[in-house]
Amino acid sequence: MNKHGIILFGHGARDPRWAEPFERLAAKLRALRGEPVSLAFLELMTPDLPAAVARQAADGCDAITVVPVFFGQGGHVRRDLPEIIEKCRSAHPDVTISCATAVGEDDAVLDAVAEYCLRQAGQ
Amino acid sequence: MNKHGIILFGHGARDPRWAEPFERLAAKLRALRGEPVSLAFLELMTPDLPAAVARQAADGCDAITVVPVFFGQGGHVRRDLPEIIEKCRSAHPDVTISCATAVGEDDAVLDAVAEYCLRQAGQ
């Protein structure tokens, strides 16, 4: 087996409706690729990242890319996430686990957000 | 005067680097439009939304669009933000203050995030 999973990593929130854009994003990605795409959360929602990694590893993924779906890179992305990733690597030494920078750092994402802001202001 | 301001409303964080994408987003918008664009934060960073609204009102804005730069709409966007907006409207009855849905609800934004995820997974 040679599967490359993507895990979308979000903060989590008490309100279940908070996760809707993450679910839509995962559905978009599943429509674009034939390999596993799943969600994981830092807190307040499940699964957490170790559980999501374990599931993709059990599903036969030998590579996993974790994408932090955050705008800014603060303590959660710079400090908490690398620690969790290290634990996942120790638990799954045969899986290559890489971690992207937060999606809000991407220029094309910011361009799309800027266009949305202009539309909202009627411009 | 007839100015329409945009305020990018984010959560805020302890790490000042967290705000970098918000500053880049504001710079992109300033390059695209001649009217005021500013940042405001729910907590941990300044200015807060009432201060940002007061500044744009003092600058001559008679319309302000607040755009929540959040992926999900949880308690912060659904409960905290409307209360703050109502206070701003009471403080500035001559300014038309509107509030957009969170940027993560926009399909074009999610498409850009999906494309970023694919690039990060080498696809």
Q: CB contact, 8 Å: B74 with chain A?
A: yes
Contacts of B29 in chain A (CB under 8 A): 114, 117-118
Residue B42 has pLDDT above 80, yes or no: yes
Specify the pLDDT at position B123. 81
| Contact of B38 with B7, CB cutoff 8 Å | yes
Instruction: Determine the 3-state secondary structure of B26 from DSSP.
Output: helix
Task: Determine which of B70, B110, B119 to mutate to test the interface with A (most A C-beta atoms within 10 Å).
Answer: B110
**Which candidate in B71, B101, B105 is best for mutational testing of the A interface (most A CBs within 10 A)?**
B71
Amino acid at residue number B96: T
**Mean pLDDT, rounded, of chain A:** 96
Q: Which residues in chain A touch residue B113, judged by CB atoms under 8 angstroms apart?
A: 25, 69, 103, 106, 109
**A78 — phi, psi (to 5°)?**
-85, -30
**What are the DSSP E strand ranges found in B11-102?**
37-41, 61-68, 96-99
- Contact indicator for B73, B101 with CB cutoff of 8 Å: yes
Q: How many residues does chain A have?
A: 123
Above 70 in pLDDT, residue B45? yes
- B121 and chain A: CB distance < 8 Å anywhere? yes
**All domains of chain A, ordered by start, with CATH?**
3-120 (3.40.50.1400)
Q: What would the mean pLDDT of A18-47 be, rounded to a whole number?
A: 96
Would you state the pLDDT for residue A2?
82
pLDDT at A118 over 70: yes
Cα–Cα distance for residue pair B101/B112, rounded to 1 Å: 18
Q: With 90 as the cut, is the pLDDT of residue A1 above it?
A: no
Asked whether the predicted pLDDT for residue B11 surpasses 90, the reply is: yes
Instruction: Specify the range with the lowest mean pLDDT, choosing from A71-75, B45-49, B100-104, B111-115.
Output: A71-75
**Chain B residues with beta carbon closer than 8 angstroms to that of A110:** 21, 24-25, 28
Rounded to 10°, the helix B20-32/A107-120 angle is 50
- Please tell me whether residue A35 adopts helix, strand or coil conformation: coil
Q: What is the dihedral of CA A88, A90, A95, A97, to 10 degrees?
A: 50
ipTM value for the complex: 0.95
B3-10 and A96-99 beta bridge pairing: unpaired
Bridge partners, A7 (sequence order): A38, A66
Residue B61's DSSP bridge partners are B3
pLDDT band at residue B2 using 50, 70 and 90 as cut-offs: confident
